[in-house]
Structures are given as C-alpha cells and as structure tokens.
Amino acid sequence: MKKTNILILFMFVIFFSFNIPISAEPMEMIPIDEIALINSIPTKTNSIANITFDSNIGIDNIENSNYKINLKNLKNETAQITIRLNWQIKPQNITATINNAPINIIKESEYYNNVRYKIQTNILPENEKTIDLSYTILKIPNQWNLGLWALDYNYNSPININFDYNTNEYPNTKITYTGNINFDYPPYKPTCNNCIYENNNVKITDTNYFYINWQKQRTPIRAMSVYLIMVFAIIYGLIKKRNIN
C-alpha cells in the first residue's frame, strides 16, 4: 500500500515537472534612432478626409449606403488619392461620382472573403474634391461563430484613404466619420464603439474610427424539429422499457 502511494506521488511529480511553465526571457530592447523618428513624424496635418454617410440595413440584410467623401489637400503639391474599398463579398451594385460625373472603379480582387476595389484621383495643391459613393451589399454574418438562434453581424467602414505625394514625406491625414446607420429590425445585443445606439439607429459623430456589433435573432426550425424528434424517441423508449420491466 505504501509502495503504491509512493509510486503515485512519483508519477505526479514527473507529470507536473513537464507542465512547469518556463518564464519568458525579458524582451530585447531595440534602440530607436531618435533623429529618424523625429524626422518621420509630420509636424502638421497636410490632408483631411471628412466622410459623411447614411446607411440602411434592411430586414433582408441588404445594406444600402451613401457616402460623401470630402478630400482636402492642404499641401502646396498635387496629391494622388487612392480610396480602397474592402468587403467580404461582392457588392450588388456600386457607383462613384465626382460632381455627378461617374468615375472609374478599379477591381483589384473579387474572391470570396477578399473583395477589393479602388478609386484613384488627383487633387490639385490646396484644393478639395468631393466623391459620392453609393453601394448595395448583402450583410453576411461572422462566419466562425454561427449561432443557431442569433447570427452575429458587424459594421465598420469599408473605406481606406491614402494620400500620396511626390516628396517622400509621410503624409499626415486626418480622417473623420459622421453618419447614421438605420436598422429596419431591432438589432439584438448591439454594441457600439465610438458611436451612440438609440431606437434602431446608430449615430457616429466626428470620430476617426467606429465599429458596431449586433445580432439578428432567428429560429432554427429544421434543427429543432430533428431535436424534438430525438427527444420524443428517447422519451418513448424510456416509457416502453419501463412498461416491459
């Protein structure tokens, strides 16, 4: 008996000795060239993008969005603007105009989970331009957490703006979002980052980043039907066995 206990204790010691966490070594400090850092940080804002938008998410999860992108080039140099649009799936339709004149939308990729378009334009020195962008897209749920009773959705801006100048100086762009997102159904458990949710409506005011999560409730009719059949079969089996015994 005593020998067995010693053996068990010995086994435990061996087992836990393999599980002792090894503390990580302190991180190596990388010296930063202070002068290079100071030179790379722009001293003042040289481009501004004011984005105003109005989105509607229908009961069928179709999102209709109208964006107005106001771009200001404050530098004394022509700016090359690239507006990148990223989605998970292909939008049903998309149009972009400058002063009601349509502009070309370049398709970069149209693969599932990686749909990328871009719009390119130039802005003269110390000038501004407004791009109207509207699109219709099917909102798809987050695909690695598929609830059967509620599907998770999220909304963030698909727009990414780059100002490029011929000089190698890093452009300091200030991007602000102001807009409204209206839901045709009451979103379940909405969470808002840099925005206010009220009465099926989300308000975003003067922020450089926003993110909205919500759920849409559903009823798993097919899965529940099969489950109820299984439960009734088990209950029937139990009653039958009980009567036999």
Partner 1 sequence: MLKFLKNLKEDKYIKIAAILLFAAFFLGYTMRVLDFTKSPALSSIGVIYPIHQESYPHYMNSMIGYESSSSMRGGYDQISESPIDFLYVARNNIVSSVLIVFTGVLFAIPSIIFTFLTGLTAGQSIPEVLEFANGIIAAKTIFLFISYAFAIILATSIGIELGIALFKFIKEKKLQLKKTIYDKALLLIIITILNIILQYLLLVI
Query: Where does this chain bind partner 1 (CB under 8 A)?
Result: 89, 112, 138, 140, 143-150, 220, 222-224, 226-227, 230, 234
Residue 235 C-beta: closest distance to partner 1, Å: 13
Residue 236 C-beta: closest distance to partner 1, Å: 15
Identify which of residues 196 and 239 has a Cβ nearer to partner 1 in the complex: 239
Identify which of residues 77 and 152 has a Cβ nearer to partner 1 in the complex: 152
d(CA 144, CA 113): 13
Residue 224 C-beta: closest distance to partner 1, Å: 6
Residue 238 C-beta: closest distance to partner 1, Å: 13
The answer to whether the CB of 109 falls within 8 A of the CB of 115 is yes
Identify which of residues 98 and 150 has a Cβ nearer to partner 1 in the complex: 150
Identify which of residues 9 and 234 has a Cβ nearer to partner 1 in the complex: 234
Residue 244 C-beta: closest distance to partner 1, Å: 17
Identify which of residues 147 and 171 has a Cβ nearer to partner 1 in the complex: 147
d(CA 104, CA 94): 11
Identify which of residues 114 and 122 has a Cβ nearer to partner 1 in the complex: 114
d(CA 206, CA 177): 5
Count of positions (residues) in the chain: 245
The answer to whether the CB of 91 falls within 8 A of the CB of 139 is no
Residue 81 C-beta: closest distance to partner 1, Å: 32
Beta pairing, strands 79-87 & 159-164: antiparallel
Partner residues linked to 47 by β-bridges: 73, 173
Neighbours of 94 (CB within 10 A): 18
d(CA 104, CA 217): 39
Neighbours of 54 (CB within 10 A): 14
Residue carrying the six token digits 């010995």: 10
